[in-house]
A and B are shown apart, each in its own frame.
Chain A
Amino acid sequence: MVLELKKPRPIWQIMFSTHHTDVGLLYTVTGLSFLFMAGVLAMMIRTHLFFPGQNFLISDSVTFNRIFTVHGLTMLFLFALPVANGIGNYLVPIMVRYKDMAYPKLNAIAFWMNPIGGALLWLGFSDTSWVSYAPYSVIRAPGPAADMMIFGLKILGISSILSSINFIVTILKCKHPDLPLRKVPLFAWSMLTVSLMTLVAMPSYAAALIMLLTDRLGVSGFFNPTAGGDPIAYLHLFWFTFHPEVYIFLLPAIGMMYEIIPRFSRKPLYSTGSGVFAFVMLGLIGFASWGHHMYSTGMDFTTKVVFMIGTLAAVPASGMHVFNFLATMWGARIRFAAPMKFAVGGIALFFSAGAGGVLNSAMPLDFISHGTYWVVGHMHLFLTGTIAFGFVGMVYYMFPFITGRMYNEKLANIHFVMMLWGTVQVFFTQHLLGLEGMARRIYDYPPEYASWVQLNQIATVGAWILGGGFVAFLINLLYYSSKGKEANMDDPFGLGGKYYYPHTAKNPHHVGY
């Protein structure tokens, strides 16, 4: 029944399997490993910024630049995407009642591109910053680091296109004939939406990467002004992929909250229709706002207004998700086990991140916040506050189903409190740092700016608290997956009622659903 526990298998059987739960497990474990690796880099960055003007911990700016570049790339491409794909692999076939993903071998190939892409990013350790704006990345960034990054991202891009195709075909074509699309659970809807978005968004960046590479080789000059090119072209191609990509990272986390919240509220979801509508709306509107990353590049007034409207238009749909969650929890007998805590914390932080985002999109305010720590705080509130909270909650939720054992609830509680506290302390403080004018991606700052020093130190202490929370998570994952109490597989969280899918995953026909 439960795969890893009841039938202990040698690890290569899982590694070379094409079954969707095995591939899902590989994705999730890989993603979480990269989360811890990139988390160590983040701790280094924050610890370094504790003391201004002292070369503390990181002794030169090149190393610092490399560290924040690889931190960003890893968190986005090797943590956020793989974990979403992992949970998606695990649950989507079960939710649409099919025996596996549509193309199991393609699925395994898409997964195995991740470690390879990851190895290229980490062995190269590029210093271009994750956006790798031209012409810096063309004329100044040292090779082979930047070239390895380009190849690594290329491979990861192909991987995400392959897995998107797989999800789309699985959901639309392999769905059980008795199951109408509108009855498909919302997590599967979120995977469908982001897969379609990936197919539209990713090619633009894939093209930009090839142009970047040929520019670096000197055979073309797409983005190099001295060869007749235009750096702004790179920015458009880049943000046309990566603004939608924001939603590609975000929506699976929202989908996971749709799994967790009704279950722990012991109440049906307020409205499935509104959830589907909001997913599809975000999927469409996500493509109308990439220009708000470029207000200050010399964009004319009308273009700025158009992109501001496109950006603001995404807010009502995000608000519908929040409303849906709150209305579901309203008057419910909620059981605050770890998954529910993380989901609710994630919603609160999603709301505050979104509110900050509205201010960013307002043109005059963007000129205050853009390129400062405000933006760092804002996008980390989404990535840590919403996406990581949703993912962590879902990992705790899946924990008994995957391992057959229970995590330690007390430790999970410590993890939750430290993670919430830390997230608020680091990233809210970074918003204030931005208002004080501190630019992002700086190795050092003048010690005579007293407010910068204070706020940086507050943020760094917050980061340590956040990091401490993840130590608790690591203990839960490593120790309690093999030594924890055996879980009651019918009702591991004591919610009453019967459980549906995850533990029936090994049953080829998923009749248990």
Chain B
Amino acid sequence: MGHDTAEWVFVGIVIAILLYVGVDSWVVQKEVEEVPADAETIKVTGQQWFWSFEHQDGTKEISTLHLKKGHAYNFEIYGKDVMHSFNIPDWVVFEDVVPGHVNHAWFAPDQAGTYPIQCREYCGLLHYNMRGSLIVEDTP
């Protein structure tokens, strides 16, 4: 094989893999960012070092969030002091809390249970303990 041919073939294979990765993640991300129209809005506020939530009907919760199975929820994420990151690892809900900005993330839990909520951006002294829990209830 010619000196350069092998290298071109190699680079070609690499580019083909990258094209696949790029196109596929474009398609998936497009789908993931499509918020359903009937999604209920939950206001999430992150501050040193706890989470507070406000449902659409005005109910407020601290650290523990109760949601219903089979509904879509759209989180409006507010920050008060420093940057945090709102994260429910089991449902791949992940968006930074940036003071001065309102960020969004949505999900629709289809399984009841208790899931951990955590902060995924370093925020100081008790960052490691900025935990909460999500309780998805089975009631329709």
List chain B residues, Cβ under 8 A from A174: none
The complex places the Cα of A442 from the Cα of B125 at a distance, in Å, of 10
Contact residues, A202-230 vs B (CB, 8 A): 225-226, 229-230
In the complex, identify which listed stretch (B24-32, B37-45, B55-63, B66-74) lies at the interface while the others stay far away: B24-32
Contact residues, A343-387 vs B (CB, 8 A): 358-359, 361-365, 367-368, 370-372
Q: Is the CB of B35 closer than 8 A to any CB of chain A?
A: no
CB atoms of A363 and B25 under 8 A apart = yes
List chain A residues, Cβ under 8 A from B95: 296, 298
Minimum CB–CB distance for A397 against chain B, Å = 26
CB atoms of B18 and A358 under 8 A apart = yes
Contact residues, B106-121 vs A (CB, 8 A): 116, 118-121
CB atoms of B11 and A316 under 8 A apart = yes
Minimum CB–CB distance for A328 against chain B, Å = 12
List chain B residues, Cβ under 8 A from A437: 87, 89-90, 116, 118
The complex places the Cα of A215 from the Cα of B107 at a distance, in Å, of 37
The complex places the Cα of A358 from the Cα of B21 at a distance, in Å, of 8
Which of A61, A323, A371, A445 is B94 in contact with, Cβ under 8 Å?
A: A371
The complex places the Cα of A232 from the Cα of B103 at a distance, in Å, of 12
CB atoms of B94 and A301 under 8 A apart = no
CB atoms of A301 and B29 under 8 A apart = yes
Minimum CB–CB distance for B9 against chain A, Å = 10
Contact residues, A311-359 vs B (CB, 8 A): 312, 315-316, 319-320, 323, 327, 358-359
Q: Is the CB of A5 closer than 8 A to any CB of chain B?
A: no
CB atoms of A139 and B128 under 8 A apart = no
- Bitwise, B67-107 to A at CB < 8 A (1) or not (0) is 00000000000000111010101101011101111111000
In the complex, identify which listed stretch (A128-136, A255-263, A422-430, A465-473) lies at the interface while the others stay far away: A128-136
Which of B25, B33, B124 is A365 in contact with, Cβ under 8 Å?
A: B25
**B-side interface mostly:** mixed
List chain A residues, Cβ under 8 A from B48: 140
Q: Assuming A298-B98, A301-B33, is B89 touching A312 (CB within 8 A)?
A: no
CB atoms of A315 and B87 under 8 A apart = no
Q: Is the CB of A271 closer than 8 A to any CB of chain B?
A: yes
The complex places the Cα of A298 from the Cα of B121 at a distance, in Å, of 14
List chain B residues, Cβ under 8 A from A372: 89, 120
- Tally B residues with Cβ within 8 Å of A: 53
CB atoms of B128 and A61 under 8 A apart = yes
CB atoms of A139 and B81 under 8 A apart = yes
Select from chain B the residue with minimum beta-carbon distance to A322. B10
Q: Assuming A231-B99, A298-B95, is B28 touching A136 (CB within 8 A)?
A: no
List chain A residues, Cβ under 8 A from B7: 271, 274, 320, 323, 327
Minimum CB–CB distance for A280 against chain B, Å = 15
The complex places the Cα of A440 from the Cα of B85 at a distance, in Å, of 12
Q: Is the CB of A154 closer than 8 A to any CB of chain B?
A: no
CB atoms of A308 and B124 under 8 A apart = no
Q: Is the CB of B139 closer than 8 A to any CB of chain A?
A: no
List chain A residues, Cβ under 8 A from B123: 136
Minimum CB–CB distance for B84 against chain A, Å = 10
Q: Assuming A129-B122, A298-B98, A442-B127, is B24 touching A362 (CB within 8 A)?
A: yes
Q: Is the CB of A441 closer than 8 A to any CB of chain B?
A: yes
CB atoms of A133 and B128 under 8 A apart = no
CB atoms of A320 and B122 under 8 A apart = no
CB atoms of B33 and A61 under 8 A apart = no
Q: Assuming A298-B103, A371-B87, is B81 touching A140 (CB within 8 A)?
A: yes
Select from chain A the residue with minimum beta-carbon distance to B129. A444
Q: Is the CB of A62 closer than 8 A to any CB of chain B?
A: yes
Minimum CB–CB distance for B10 against chain A, Å = 5
- Bitwise, A277-300 to B at CB < 8 A (1) or not (0) is 000000000000000000011100
Select from chain A the residue with minimum beta-carbon distance to B13. A319
Select from chain A the residue with minimum beta-carbon distance to B131. A446
Best-buried of A134, A141, A315, A439 by chain B (most CB within 10 Å): A439
List chain A residues, Cβ under 8 A from B122: 65, 129, 133, 136, 440-441
Q: A65-B124, A316-B14, A439-B120 are in contact. List 19 more A-B contacts (CB 8 A).
A: A61-B125, A65-B122, A134-B83, A135-B81, A139-B81, A230-B100, A231-B98, A296-B96, A301-B33, A304-B29, A312-B22, A320-B10, A361-B21, A362-B21, A368-B92, A370-B120, A371-B121, A441-B122, A443-B128
Of the A-B pairs whose beta carbons lie under 8 Å apart in the complex, a sample of 10, sorted by A's number, is A65-B122, A65-B125, A135-B81, A136-B122, A231-B83, A305-B26, A312-B18, A327-B6, A364-B29, A368-B92
The 5 A-B residue pairs with the shortest CB-CB distance in the complex, in nearest-first order? A437-B89, A225-B100, A442-B128, A362-B25, A371-B120
